[in-house]
Structure 1
Amino acid sequence: MLLDARSISDGETLTADVCIVGAGAAGITLAMELLATGLTIIVLEAGGKSKAGPSQGLYQGELNDPVRHLPLDQARYRQLGGTTSLWGGRCIPFDSLDFDQREWISHSGWPFPQKEIDGYYRRAHSYCECGEYDYRVSTALPGAPPSMLPGFEDGDVNTSGIERWSPPTQFGKVYRPILTRADNLRVLLHALAVELQPSSDGKRIDSVDVATFSGRRFTVRAHTTVLAGGGLETTRLLLASRRVHREGIGNHSDWLGRGYMSHIHGVIASVTLTAGQDVMFGYEADPQGVFCRRRIAFSEEAQRRHRLLNLYMLLDRPLVGDPGHGNAVLSAAFLLKRLLGGRQQEELGKGKYSLYWRHIKNILAGSPQALSVLPKFGRKRLLQRRRIPSLLMRSRSNTYYLYFQSEQVPHRDNRVMLDDARDEFDMPRLRLHFEVTEQDRQSVQRAHELIDQELRRQNCGYLTYLENDVSQLMRDVKAVLGHHIGTTRMSADPSQGVVDEQCRVHGVANLFVASSSVFPTSSHANPTLTIVAMALRLADHLKAIHSGVTRV
């Protein structure tokens, strides 16, 4: 059932078998999986049923580089369903290599191999509604042309893989009816976990202190506590709970908050292809109607040989805001976005009216094309539950932007810390130190060189950098939106991380973390699908604990 925490009496103590802090993708997946066990479950959600309310402001914090990383209160959201309410829906599993210890990447290696999570990825597909667990063109898209680029053969560079797209699934909306009907579950909305209270020896969590904006405070006591509040807030709660663990719960190794990763992304080059109109660059639907898109990746052997960080690339459309593309559809999409409240007009500077006029001229010159394409796209984007992810236009010149998304190395100096400033509940706000390392940049630059070499070798095309100074282009790359990874890293050795291979905080018997913050490395892939898979894995572990099969 769904309850408003503001109705709980001040000073009351609630009890449950399991307390889950956070009702995003991880928290809801855990709750859904545990319902059938008969365990009593309390889920604490800081936001409301469909809005964050004043709780969103608690995300605010300090940031060392606002150019390369979004402010901390953006690209994540407090409500039932968490940030899945903002999620675009991209689903890609991590590769086998991501789980290995790679000698060219410090602190790499997961405490278990990919094969241990494969079955959970399959189950995660059901929660994310992204079709079959199949990422090969040959089997996922039967009857489709086998190659992205006609005549191109996979080797060091592969084009036969795909990404899948969720509708996107807003977990709070899709799974709310089940959560509402469950008798053994209480989802408390507007409930802010403000401190974890350990036992006197620090080896267990006795309770969770909860606050509301109505001024009431209460306590939740549970046999097992799971932190599923996202990478930054989970870390903040652990760091701020210092009554017994003076440096924060789980900070025995000095890794808590360290090793922060996102993904770096952007466009530094275009690629001109010789394959004509046969290039497969747009969205395709699988037999179940799931949108898929082909991507460019490097083989495991090539990554090892060239000491690359994992990354993928996409053939992308021209930048919508640049009228130089001469495309009526893209110009219409740009102006509509401005009209409907895109970026602030001031960002366009004094030349904005000239820019608008150039876009209008594109529309006037190609209005029949815009009128034929935009209504169809609008229906697929706005009127269907399984919406097309974005507007893509085939290039008349056969030149495409080469979008990349790359993992980052887990560097100890990239970290989340507590700030001196405090929020309305006297919790320290967060301070994030984020840098793109030279290894991050060099890997992306080397990957572009290899793509160019392989295209030329196979007579399929060539790459052109957007500017002559490639090193400057690389200095301008940014972090991807809300990918908050690595700050409670998983390790078999307690001295090398925060949680163990079962996502239990080292040294604390009944405290677990369900978040991308446990990922030791970030792969190239968006984290949501793997978050759900890891939550399913943790759910099975908790079922075994509470059934007596596994000892805590």
Structure 2
Amino acid sequence: MTDIWAATAPPLVAAGRDHYEADIVIIGSGAGGATTAWALAGSGARVLVLERGGFLPREPENWSPRAVFAEQLYHNAEAWRTPEGRRFVSSSHYYVGGTTKVYGASLPRLRESDFGAVEHYGGTSPAWPFGYRELEPFYAEAERLYRVHGWHGSAGSGDPTAPPRSGPFPHPAVEHEPYVADLERRLRGQGLHPHPLELGIDLGPGRPCLRCGTCDGFPCRVGAKSDAETRALRPALRRGNVRLLTHARVTRLDTDRAGRAVRTVHATHRGRPITVTAARVVLSAGAINSAALLLRSANDQYPDGLANGSGLVGRNLMLHNNSVVVAVDPRRRNPVTFQKTLAVNDFYHHGPAGRYPLGNLQLMGKVRAEMLPPRLPHGLRSGLTGHSLDWWVMSEDLPDPRNRVTLAPDGQIVLRREPNNLRAHRELVRQARRMLRRAGYPLVFARRMGIDATGHQCGTTVAGADEARSVLDPYCRSHQLRNLYVVDGGFFPSSAAVNPTLTIVAQALRTAGKGGLLD
């Protein structure tokens, strides 16, 4: 079967067996790359998307906790390492649609305050080079494209941090199951403001979502999750000007002699070297892999890596401070199937006794016995998960130039990350424990995630107005290479404390429009 995917005859030119020409080449098909392709569909530009992986198959194993978690059937990322030499497998996934194929479909907007400078226990979160109002129309478009369900309630009854909106959510909030609805009442009884979590799923009469228990962390077997392949790339491929080449791993970018533009994209297609030339290049490989590719493409004009005049390519890596909190009531079983419908932002801007932000609390998909460490007896794992309520606890990770992506001599990716702002995270976990015990859960366990939890990677190609202090301009174009754009979480100046995917999608729409790629 061919690896070129399109609905009609490809408009890009195969100039030779091993060479392709296009107007715009997009490297990576995750949230940033696929959405950029969607925004360019029908524009008349010849667009070629290069994806290092293939299509993740729809098969019975998609719904198997044992296959997905215990056997890690769909983990296909190479090993990375720490500066000390410890090897680990990240949570990256190399498929059409990228890591969105297995994400939990949580699609909140950043809060309005996140775009300005914010003081934290651990330091200052810097301002963005544009404000919330500039991105709001693109947030609205992103929510329509990714079919986001949510609820914008009356004052005092919804999310106390909800940013202003130009209109309602495109779809109503996902209804809580009775067990979660009861939890919501218990939390409101504490004076908190739990609210429906913003979710991208194709739910409704005649729609494919089954509200199954295998959404968060699993591939969707019925195509109901709003992943980048399903919502953006496949519709783009149905237009006449977008093509996808799978199993094409980009190895380096070459510039012209003046060092002002990317001239050639080098890749391997199923092990065979190929080249691509295009007027504009969009790098959307994820914040870590995009930075690594720029570093790997060093040349005489850019000895420290492409687009790296500021010295910030690969630096300021942020992953969020994340913990899993599992609350157990041994007296009461948790019969819920689709658990991930509720969030709490009462501690987002400040804690109960302090003025500094703590972060976000949101329910996870239901934890299964197969997801717990196998060293525990299966009976104990089943007993715990049968009575547990499972939360994802997220605090802001502050930019630190010492936290960075580098390359080992053999080319392997090396991540250095010393978590910061941990006082805020510890306090948020403490507040979560207190909240859950008051809600009737006498046993509460917490585990902070390590460096392998790379699902929220950002900050490695930061955007800004000052090219001495940033890699990209506010439209994600390189300050130095005027035909190079980086459209993934790398552009984030700060990580905020909510899931980043919708912001990547919104910025991709903004970058592809007036002022960006089509200008």
1:35 to 34, 41, 45: 41
The alpha-carbon deviation at position 293 of structure 1 amounts to: 2.0
Q: Which runs of structure 2 are paired with 1:179-328 in the superposition (5 Å)?
A: 179-218=236-275, 220-243=276-299, 244-267=301-324, 293-298=341-346, 302=350, 306-314=354-362
Shift, 1:110, TM fit: 0.8
* Matches of 2:353 and 2:470, distance apart in 1: 28
> Does the CA contact (< 8 Å) of 2:436 and 2:444 recur in 1?
no
Alpha carbons 1:2, 1:186 under 8 Å: kept: no
- 1:104-183 alignment runs, 5 A limit: 104=120, 105-106=123-124, 108-131=126-149, 134=152, 148-149=184-185, 152=188, 158-160=193-195, 162-166=197-201, 167-173=224-230, 177-183=234-240
Contact 2:38 2:233 in 1 (8 A): no
Q: How far did 1:91 drift? A: 1.7
Contact between 1:102 and 1:108, CA under 8 Å: does it hold in 2?
yes
CA distance in 2, matches of 1:76, 1:455: 31
Structure 1 stretch displaced more, 256-265 or 123-132: 123-132
> Structure 1 residue 259: deviation in Å?
0.8
Judged with a 3 Å threshold, the aligned counterparts in structure 2 of structure 1 residues 10 and 431 are, in CA distance, closer, same or farther, namely: farther
| Paired-residue identity, % | 23
What is the CA distance between 1:236 and its match in structure 2? 1.0
Q: Distance in 2 between matches of 1:57 and 1:403?
A: 24
SS in 2 for 1:32: helix
Instruction: Measure the CA separation in 2 of the matches of 1:66 and 1:283.
Output: 41
Do the aligned partners of residues 9 and 257 (structure 1) sit closer, same or farther apart at CA in structure 2, a change above 3 Å counting? same
Aligned counterpart for 1:415 among listed residues 404, 413, 417: 404
Contact 1:259 1:486 in 2 (8 A): yes
Deviation at residue 16 of structure 1 after TM alignment = 2.0
The structure-2 alpha-carbon separation of the partners of 1:519 and 1:65, relative to structure 1 and needing over 3 Å to count, comes to farther
**C-alpha distance 299-194 of structure 1, shift in aligned 2 (>3 A):** same
Taking structure 2 as the reference length, the TM-score comes to 0.73
Check whether the contact 1:271–1:402 (CA below 8 A) recurs between aligned residues.
no
| Offset at residue 186 of structure 1 (A) | 2.3
Amino acid in structure 1 at the alignment position of 2:428: A
Corresponding residue for 2:504?
A: 531
1:62 aligned onto 2:62: no
SS at match of 2:184: coil
Pairs aligned (count): 450
Residues 11-50 of structure 1 deviation map (CA, whole Å, 9 limit, x = unaligned): 7543222111111222111111111211111111112234
2:65 alignment partner in structure 1 = none
Cα-to-partner distance string for 1:427-446 (whole Å, 9 max, x where unaligned): x2211112222x2x201223
Seen in structure 2, the aligned counterparts of structure 1 residues 239 and 316 have a Cα distance that, compared at 3 Å, is: closer
The whole-number CA distance in structure 2 between the counterparts of 1:82 and 1:453 is 37
* C-alpha distance after superposition, 1:88-119 (max 9, x if no partner): 21222111121111244335211111122122
Q: What is the match of residue 415 of structure 2?
A: 432
- Inter-CA distance 64–482: structure 2 relative to 1 (3 Å threshold): farther
Which one of the candidate residues 10, 14, 20 is aligned to 2:26? 20
8 Å contact kept, 2:315–2:460: yes
CA spacing shift, 1:257–1:358, aligned 2, 3 Å: closer
Contact 1:44 1:187 in 2 (8 A): yes
> 2: distance between equivalents of 1:142 and 1:42?
36
Which of the pair is proportionally richer in helix? 1
Letter of the structure 1 residue corresponding to residue 346 of structure 2: F
- Secondary structure in structure 2 of the residue aligned to 1:71: strand
Instruction: Give the 3 Å change call, closer, same or farther, for CA 259–143 of structure 1 in structure 2.
Output: closer
State the Cα distance separating 1:461 from its structure 2 match. 5.9
Corresponding letter in the other structure for 2:265: V
Aligned residues of 1:125 and 1:132 also touching (Cα < 8 A): no
Deviations 1:377-420 (A, max 9, x none): xxxxxxxxxxxxxxx9777xxxx666412221111111100111
CA RMSD in angstroms comes to 4.2
CA contact (8 A) 2:341 2:363 kept: no
* 1:348 correspondence with 2:374: yes
TM-score by length of 1: 0.69
1:358-377 map, 5 Å:
none
Aligned equivalents of 1:238 and 1:454: distance in 2?
45
Matched to 2:468, the amino acid is: S
Letter paired with 2:374: L
- In the alignment, structure 2 segments of 5+ residues that lack a partner are 58-73, 159-167, 202-223
Query: Is it true that 1:79 corresponds to 2:95 in the alignment?
Result: yes
Q: CA deviation at 1:283?
A: 8.4
> Which amino acid in 2 is paired with 1:78?
Y
Is the 8 Å Cα contact of residues 135 and 163 (structure 1) preserved in structure 2? no
Larger Rg: 1
* Separation (CA, whole Å) in 2 of partners of 1:429 and 1:10: 31
Q: Which residue in the other structure is 2:116 paired with? A: 100
Shift of residue 177, structure 1, vs aligned partner: 4.8
Q: Is the 8 A contact 2:173 2:196 kept in 1?
A: no
Match 1:505 to one of 478, 503, 511: 478
Cα distance, 1:228 vs. partner? 0.9
| Structure 1 SS opposite 2:309 | coil
SS for the counterpart of 2:468 is: helix
CA contact (8 A) 1:269 1:463 kept: no
Structure 1 residue runs without a partner (length 5+):
285-290, 321-332, 364-391, 422-427, 468-472
The structure-2 alpha-carbon separation of the partners of 1:505 and 1:529, relative to structure 1 and needing over 3 Å to count, comes to same
In structure 1, the residue matched to 2:425 is 444
* TM-fit CA distance, 1:271: 9.6
**Alignment match, 2:207:** none
User: For residue 445 of structure 1, what is the amino acid of its counterpart?
Assistant: R
CA displacement at 1:513 relative to structure 2: 0.8
Separation in structure 2 between the aligned mates of residue 183 and residue 232 of structure 1, nearest angstrom:
32
Instruction: Call closer, same or farther: CA 1:58–1:153 in 2, change over 3 Å.
Output: closer
Cα 1:269–1:172, aligned 2, differ >3 Å: closer, same or farther?
closer
Partner of 2:69: none
Q: Distance in 1 between matches of 2:335 and 2:308?
A: 46
Q: Give the counterpart letter for 1:71 in structure 2.
A: F
Q: Where does residue 326 of structure 1 map in the other structure? A: none
**Deviation of 1:212 (Å):** 2.2
Contact 1:283 1:293 in 2 (8 A): no
How far did 1:270 drift?
5.3
Q: Does the CA-based 8 Å contact 1:121-1:133 persist in structure 2?
A: no
Give me the whole-angstrom Cα distance separating, in 2, the residues matched to 1:151 and 1:415. 39
Asked if structure 1 preserves the Cα contact closer than 8 Å seen for 2:26 and 2:281, the reply is yes
Cα distance in 2 between the residues matched to 1:465 and 1:444:
20
Cα deviation, 1:158-206, whole Å, max 9, x if unaligned, reads 4346332434224334556534443322212222222112222222222
Cα pair 1:268 1:465 within 8 Å, conserved: no
Q: Is the 8 A contact 1:314 1:403 kept in 2?
A: yes
Which residue matches 1:374? none
Counterpart Cα distance in 2 of 1:283 and 1:358: 20
